[in-house]
Structure 1
Amino acid sequence: MHGARRTRQTPEAIAARKQREQSKLKDYLSLTEDVIARRKKSDWSKDSFDLTTRVLQINPEFYTVWNYRRNIMSYGLFVESSPESINDLLSDDLSMTTMALKAHPKVYWIWNHRRWCLENVPDGPGDSHDWKKANWNRELAVVEKMLDADARNFHAWNYRRYVLANMPERRPEAAELAYTTRKIEANFSNFSAWHQRSKVYTSLWESGQLNREKSIRDELELVKNAMYTDPNDQSAWLYHRWLIGSGNDREILESEITAIEELLEEQPDSKWCIESLVHYKRLLIKNHSAEFGAEQTKGLLSQCVSFLLQLQTLDPPRRNMYQDIVDTLSAT
């Protein structure tokens, strides 16, 4: 802690600590050598399974041991076991990895093992004992707790998409939209929540459950609220760009350009405002220039060049990129 007096360790204490560390390392190396030797012998025993637990509690990134653990279950513990016993084993592993994720929330191999466990849950004896449904529902609750702890953990968001796509009973998209709304309203800079929202809308549009243009108009209110709250945060701007690109409505495009120009008056040095205006004005030229003629097109190109010159000053690391766009526009 800051301000706390440090206690100087004696040479004896330092030597004792190093000895303990060396002893732990020696024990770990001996343990891993034993596990790897058992793996080479295709030892599928319960004793070997317990040893993998010990290794993985120390080093959860040891993917070879995770693979060995699954082989022990598949070729050893599951053989001649009842479906109920298999479900119990898998439930225990899900509990074990839940504890591991609390300490190591971004270790891919833990998430990967949970997928395997869920995919190997046997069918229950009936609707009242539907093990698959129970495990998948519980898994969604687990990942929500993980996201409560760290709303921007992209591993958890990716895993959430996997769970939602594979649940025996599909969760209504409306419920997922409500979930992402809560996460976004809690923190507008949650890029993963915006990304999840784009996936949900894409699904709803492709299935015909939502009118694309109407939902885009409705969604723009939420996004503009985020943009106005923090004009320098890229998450809402990137989502806004995706949203506009998902439709081809001139009225919406011109309306958003006007809104961003108003925001730019309040935030004259906002890089994202200026970049977005360039992007949308170029999009307007690309998709709708035939509707308003050469003179307006020339005016839009001139505005884009002016903005790009301003961006070279505001964003020096990308100066050359902006100049390339100026050159492209000048050659148009």
Structure 2
Amino acid sequence: MSFESYDWSDTAPIEQDDGPEPLAQIAYDPEYSKAMGYFRAIAQKNEHSERALTLTEKIIEHNPAHYTIWHYRQQILFSLDKDLYEELDFIQKQVEQNPKNYQLWHHRQVIVEKLKDCSLELSFTEEVLNDDSKNYHAWTYRQWVIRTFNLWDNELSFVEDLLEKDVRNNSAWNQRYFAIFYNPTKPSEEFLKKEVEYGISKIKLAPNNISPWNYIKGIIAKSNIEITVLEELCKTYSQSDTISPHALGCLVDIYEDHVKRGLTDKKELGIKTCILLAEKHDTIRKKYWNYRKHVLASIA
């Protein structure tokens, strides 16, 4: 049922006031302008009704990013004690058309909080991610669901399946880190060692993919594992036919670690690697590698 089908004879629409001399007046669609006129009128008297609910749907059809409309829709839904599972269906249809609409994802979060039921949410986000595995809004929402409802148990398995499909899925690597370090159950050192091995196995599939390199460095930063565990791997991919700048960059980290521990013979190797990166293998970050070279040279 469209909002025009309701009786609006008791309500005078309020036109948008752009001031006497608007500099850049927006040419709104006439249907949208009409619907907004009625919305201003009902919002002024805080009307929560079926016609008001239908009106919000019409406005969302034209402008799905209108935060005020979503908020008002929530108030109507709760006031009329509407079936919120039907609202989840409505949201799903909206997501199919606007999968990266922040206001839409926030609205779903509000509804799920009200329901106190997350039974549909992991499968819902999985469906969205199947269409776009790097949808930031879907990942952020999924993380909220997991943390709020303590759904940690199967997340590593979910991420592993995604990485089997696409080892370059940086969002999945980020989620793997989240699943380990934001989990209330802290990982053991033995588990983290296996995660480093897992990351190394993925580097071997795509040594120029920065995600597993960063993932392993993140693991090392949160554990007692030393970065030197990557030294042989880095040397392999710094001498092969296809040299990985990520391997060379990791070698700089390793050599700097050695120098800080008193192995000064590694300083020259580190400086040479910085020069190699700056001048040949990672020239876009030349200033950064020159800075790292300066840092190495200054270590006493």
| Cα contact 2:256–2:296 (8 A) shared by 1 | no
Q: Match of 2:89?
A: 95
Number of aligned residue pairs: give it: 272
Q: Take 2:156 and 2:241, find their aligned partners in 1: how far apart are those partners?
A: 30
Aligned to 1:244: 220
From 220, 231, 237, the equivalent of 2:196 is 220
Residues 1:148 and 2:151 aligned together? no
Equivalent residue runs for 1:15-94 within 5 Å:
25-74=29-78, 76-78=79-81, 86=82, 88=83, 90-94=84-88
Shift of 1:268: 5.2
1:190-225 deviations in Å (ceiling 9; x for gaps): 111111111222245x634x422x112211232122
How far off is 1:96 after superposition? 0.4
1:267 and 1:116, CA in 2 relative to 1: closer, same or farther beyond 3 A?
farther
Partner of 2:208: 232
Which of 268, 271, 282 in structure 2 is aligned with 1:305? Answer: 271
Bigger mean CA deviation after superposition, 145-154 or 267-276: 267-276
Whole-angstrom CA distance in 2 between matches of 1:207 and 1:224: 24
Amino acid of the residue matched to residue 320 of structure 1? K
Write 1 or 2 for the structure with the bigger share of helix. Answer: 1
Partner of 1:119: 113
1:58-90 Cα distance to aligned partner (Å, 9 max, x none):
22111111111112233x313xxxxxxx4x2x1
CA RMSD for the aligned pairs? 2.0
The one-letter code matched in structure 2 to 1:318 is R
Aligned letter for 2:151?
R
- 2:185 corresponding residue in structure 1: 207
Q: Distance in 2 between matches of 1:192 and 1:178?
A: 15
Identity %: 24
Residue 136 of structure 1: aligned partner: 118
- Aligned mates of 1:172, 1:112 — CA distance in 2: 21
Scaled by the length of structure 2, what TM-score is found?
0.84
| Distance in 2, Cα, partners of 1:243 & 1:281 | 19
Residue 316, structure 1, aligned to residue 293, structure 2: no
State whether structure 2 residue 182 is matched by structure 1 residue 182: no
Q: 1:246 Cα deviation (Å)?
A: 1.9
After TM superposition, the score normalised by the length of structure 1 is 0.76
Give the C-alpha shift of residue 148 in structure 1.
1.4
Give secondary structure in 1 for the equivalent of 2:239: helix
Query: Which ranges of structure 1 fall in alignment gaps of 5 or more residues?
Result: 1-22, 79-85, 122-131
Unpaired runs of at least 5, structure 2: 1-26
- Secondary structure class of the residue paired with 2:157: helix
* C-alpha separation in 2, matches of 1:137 and 1:273: 43
More moved, 255-264 vs 61-70: 255-264
